[in-house]
Amino acid sequence: MSDPDFARVLTALRRGQPDRVPLGEVSVDPEVKDAFLGRPITGLADEVEFWLQAGFDYIAIDTDLYAAPAIQDRIVRPLENTAHGYAGARHNRGWVGSAAAVIGSRDDVQCFAWPHAEDVDLSVYEHLPSVLPPSMKAVVTIGHVFTGAWQLMGFESFCVSLIDDPDLVLEITDRLGGETLRLLDGVLAHEVVGAICLQDDIAYTNGLMVSLPMLRRIFFPWLTTAVERVHRAGRPVFLHSDGDVLQAIPDLLRCGIDGLHPIEPKCMDIAAVKRQYGDRLALLGNLDLGYTMTRGTPAEVRQAVRQLMRDVAPGGGYLLGSANSITNYVPLENFRAMLAAGREFGRYPISLD
């Protein structure tokens, strides 16, 4: 572990070259945190200790209307335990079907119990400064406006409505987006917040979920407004979207984002993205979860990190991390190997053959 310094994250997100490549995860499952510390995490001080001991310059926090029971309890179906190699699984995954709809009409929009920004507990940001080293900050994940809309409608109905009744879709995204902007303002009021991750998957591994013209109509205007709010508050902002978003990058740049996460390796060549867009866009993540981080060996993880440091990190604008998050099926030894390799190969200037 080195001394934390959020300034290196700011430098990297602003496409600069800090002293070393910072880590760039937005989520780590609780089983991994417990195993890493060797004890259960029972409070905010333990959370901070995990991120500090792992070598991060920040603590990642999720503050999202999408997590409200009014949404989650209606659309998410639980999966069996996905934890592998960890005792006492505490994080259950779920999936959302494509057909079932919670909202299918304007009457449903009016009757739905929409979550409100003031219902979200922000007290963590009041308590955090008392336990967080002053050189660390919080990176806050918020969003799910596009995702929330299609999941509430069911993807089939959502896609049909994009053609038959796009104003209905806009009514839903406006509801979610408006409350999310209010929540974002509340988060940004806290000085301990150092950066924002706007989280919304807009792509599969074989391309965008809907066409660019549709995204320009129903999502990118909201994204632009959210980015402007974050920038007005003096913080950087990056977008999390899984899948192949290459086609959308020019639009995302016009929306004003500073960075893109996680550059999924199954469908995107991060070195090519760096060559084409690295002067305008910071990149985060890319370590493969399909094999390397989940089923590979620590030696394979080390080699993959070395390759990222060789091909992507030079010149700055890169934060090391996985191709989504550190899930509870990532072996602890592979997580540790990622951290160690980042320290081994990530100090600037970087020159690797």
pLDDT digits (tens, 9 = 90+) for 219-254: 999 999 999 999 999 999 999 999 999 999 999 999
321 within domain boundaries: yes
What are the phi and psi torsion angles at 279 (to 5°)?
Answer: -80, -10
At residue 67, the pLDDT reads: 78
Inform me whether the pLDDT recorded for 125 exceeds 60: yes
The answer as to whether 30 is a domain residue is: yes
- What confidence score (pLDDT) does residue 84 get? 73
Q: What is the CATH number of the domain that holds 194?
A: 3.20.20.210
Residue range(s) defining the domain that contains residue 45:
6-345
pLDDT, one tens digit per residue, over 45-67 is 999 999 999 999 999 999 999 87
Residue 352 maps to a domain: no
- Total tally of structural domains belonging to the chain: 1
The pLDDT of residue 328: 95
Helix, strand or coil for residue 284? strand
Q: Is the pLDDT of residue 147 over 80?
A: yes
Q: Is residue 351 part of a domain?
A: no
- Max CA distance (Å), the chain: 62
Across residues 168-178, what is the average pLDDT?
97
In a domain, 350, yes or no: no
- Asked whether residue 295 is assigned to any structural domain, the reply reads yes
> How large a percentage of the chain has pLDDT more than 70?
93
3-class SS of residue 138: strand
* Mean pLDDT of the region 15-26: 99
Give me the pLDDT at residue 83, please. Answer: 73
Percent over 90 (pLDDT), the chain: 88
Instruction: Identify whether 338 is part of a domain.
Output: yes
Beta bridge mates, 326 = 28
Q: Has residue 1 been placed in a domain?
A: no
